[in-house]
Amino acid sequence: MTAATHSVAGQYLTFALVQELFAVDIHAVREIIEYGHLTSVPMMPPSILGVINLRGAVVPVIDLGLRFGGSATSIGPRTCIVILEIAAGDGLRVIGMVVDAVSEVLELSAEQIEPAPSFGNRIRADFIRGMGKLDERLVVLLDVGRVLSDDEIALLEHAGAQGTTAQDKP
């Protein structure tokens, strides 16, 4: 086992997205909220759905389905927004990601985690921390710090700033 394998062991929030199971490190999850009204921001890439007002803070929201090059997430009764804190540049950034449904929090040991495959997945390999083995199924462990590039984080910050300006108008 490598040191990298040991570093990904821990607790993960699992969620469904387009009939696949994904997970993010529980330490990155700030909260989970019901899917609600988003304010669109002009001139953003399609994967940036808009911004929400989260207790006075403007939080940009992305659609992981679109971000991964697939179709937009279908909004249903279990659709929610997972609010994440990600390390970016000089500090932490708060973003939301739309998912089909949140499943559960799992504890994964190093023995249950395999390195990311170099083929066969529709998601770029650098987005994946590893593959968690759960009985007969696999869960894709996302590296939330890499799902968005520095340029996209700057766009999200711009979207948040535009959202603040739009909310300040009477």
Say how many C-beta atoms besides its own lie within 10 A of residue 143's C-beta. Answer: 17
Tens digits of residue pLDDT in 103-113: 999 999 999 99
User: What mean pLDDT is reported for the chain?
Assistant: 80
Q: How confident is the model at residue 137, as a pLDDT? A: 86
Give the model's confidence band at 4: pLDDT under 50 very low, under 70 low, under 90 confident, else very high: very low
Residue in 5, 31, 15 with CA at minimum distance from that of residue 139? 15
Q: How confident is the model at residue 57, as a pLDDT? A: 87
Cα distance between residue 19 and residue 92, in whole Å = 30
| Residue 114 token pair | 């395999």
78-100 CB burial, b ≥16 within 10 A, e <16: ebbbbbbebebeeeebbbbbbbb
Between 134 and 160, the more confident residue is 134
For 3-168, CATH gives 2.40.50.180
Helix %, strand %, coil % for the chain, to 5? 25, 45, 30
Task: Record the pTM.
Answer: 0.81
